[in-house]
Structure 1
Amino acid sequence: MSEERDERPMSRRSMLRGAVGAAAAIGAAGALTGGLAGTAQAGTAAANGWSRGRRVPEERIGIQLYTLRNDLQADLEGTLEALADIGYRNVELAGTYGRSVREFRGLLDRYGLRAVSAHVGFDGADVDALIADAKVLGYHYADCAWANYDSIGEWRDFADRLDKAGKAFRKAGIKYGYHNHAHEFRKIDGVRPFDVISQVTSRHNVHFEYDLYWLVDGGIDPVEQYYREFGRVRQFHVKDRKPEGGFADLGTGTIDFGRIFRDTRRGHVSHFIVEHDQPTNALRTAEVGYDYLTDLRF
Structure 2
Amino acid sequence: MELGFEEKDFLACCGSTTFAREIAAIAPFVSFEQAVEAARDIWFNKVDVNGWLEAFAAHPQIGDTKSGNQKSETSARWSKGEQSTALATATDSTLQELFEWNSRYRKKFGFVFLICASGRSTPEVLAELKKRYPNRPIIEFETAAQEQMKITELRLAKLFTGKGISPPVGGEYSATQATKAEGSGAPAIKASQSSVRTRPPITTHVLDVSRGSPGAGIEVQLEMWKGTQPRPLFGKLDSGGWIFQGSSITDKDGRSGRLMSIVDNVDPGIYRISFNTGKYSPNGFFPYVAIVFEIRESQRSEHFHVPLLFSPFSFTTYRGS
TM-score norm. by structure 2 comes to 0.25
More helix per residue: 1
Which is greater in Rg?
2
